[in-house]
Copies of this chain bind each other. A is one copy, B any other.
Amino acid sequence: MAQADLPKGTAVIGQSGGPTAVINQSLVGVVEGLRGGLQRSGHVTKVLGMRNGVRGLTDGRMTDLTNIDQAMLDRVSHTPSAALGSTRDKPDASYCGRIFESCRELDARYFFYIGGNDSSDTCRIVSEAARAAGYDLRCVHVPKTVDNDLMGNDHTPGYASAARFVALAHMADGMDNAALPGIKINIVMGRHAGFLTAAAAAARHEEHAGPHLVYVPEVPFITDRFVQDVASVYDKLGRCHIAVSEGIQDKDGVAIGALLMGEEKDAHGNVQLSGSGALGDQLANLLKAKLTPAGGKPPRVRADTLGYLQRCYPDASPVDAREARMVGVHAAQLAAEGKAGVSVNLVRKSTIGPNEAYECVAEHQPLEAVAAKTRHLPESYIKGHSDVSQAFLDYVTPLLGALPPFELLE
């Protein structure tokens, strides 16, 4: 039931940052949550979608979602990428001024922003600026990121589907590598956190299945050690299947990929790591050069960069689809309870273990707890310098949905 002291006006919803396979589930969840709550109680009189996040809000590009029909919402929910469009804009003081101007014009009182840590920071900035200006704007952040690097979340909506894609890709590509033996590198998304790369390890469906080596940003990447690791597996199996995070760093914390990629940065100061094959190609060339026997032929080395398909391939994890919808609905419910300046988070209620039934619920935390912070793979999920632990596999397996039963002829 909505509280009596809630403001009355328009609700605005935006999507921000990199799209995912299920971010539209969250959008639809907010719309449905409002319908069942603040819209029914009369506090929300209009629901507007911002085109390209806060940019559309300031440009006056909005989509009216007040009476959008349920069949359309269902189709949108199954469509990957951001149905309202996304943005990487980060508002400064003058940008915030334009946002309030727009909010006043629209009589906006509820502000829902779906995105990752940069987007939660946008939500925090808008929320604090509104408070300072004495404008009653109820801001709720809805989590989303394939990187799984939001603080205070067991995992974030979007991660499980991306992890499913990475696991399936490595399962199938590992079979390809077994059929035509050689050295194969796959570069996986994840600017600072190794969660997505780690999910490649879920591809190991039998004893010798790849990936044989897994490199995450949390462990310093030492080139010579990498070459030795690969040589050792290659000598033993006649092949080597490798998952490497795009965000691997040297021992001084300098991203190996960024060193190769030049200077392009977004508004949040992030260097471009995705959308290029340079890191994989450099590592492949390194291995060819170092592992060619004297007077012999170089080994067969290939590199693929899994690229944007990781965040948009239309085969969502069913768990992820359900939870992404749930966090959207919960955001609307929080607003109806009078909560503001908060971020929805996913909290696992079940114990992590190979035989535990999985249960996860939506709760909330202060925006400050998540905004512009980065969660990393905990040490307990890392094994040595080139693998993940069983604890990580127990953590990630329930998120992925069913994986196909592959069969080998030995």
Residues of A within 8 A of B (CB): 15, 18-19, 21, 49, 52, 63, 65, 68, 72, 75-76, 78-88, 168-169, 171-173, 175-176, 178-181, 184, 264, 272, 274-278, 280-281, 284, 298, 301-309, 311-315, 404-410
Contacts and interface: CB of A to CB of B under 8 A. Distances in A.
Contact of A176 (B84, B280, B298, B312): B312
A404 B308 contact: no
A172 B307 contact: no
A354 to B, nearest CB: 23
Copies in the complex: 2
Contact of A173 (B63, B276, B312, B404): B312
Contact of A311 (B76, B86, B176, B307): B176
A312 B178 CA distance: 12
A190 to B, nearest CB: 16
A160 to B, nearest CB: 16
B169 A313 contact: yes
A81 B281 contact: no
A309 B165 CA distance: 11
Given A19-B176, A19-B179, A180-B19, A304 B308 contact: yes
B172 A83 contact: no
A195 to B, nearest CB: 20
A305 B278 CA distance: 11
A275 B287 CA distance: 14
Contacts of A276: 277, 280-281, 284, 302-303
Contacts of A307: 304-306
A370 to B, nearest CB: 22
* Shortest Cβ-Cβ A-B pairs, 9 listed: A277-B277, A275-B302, A304-B307, A81-B175, A75-B407, A172-B312, A82-B179, A79-B406, A83-B409
A148 to B, nearest CB: 19
A158 B307 CA distance: 23
Contact of A304 (B19, B79, B179, B305): B305
B304 A309 contact: yes
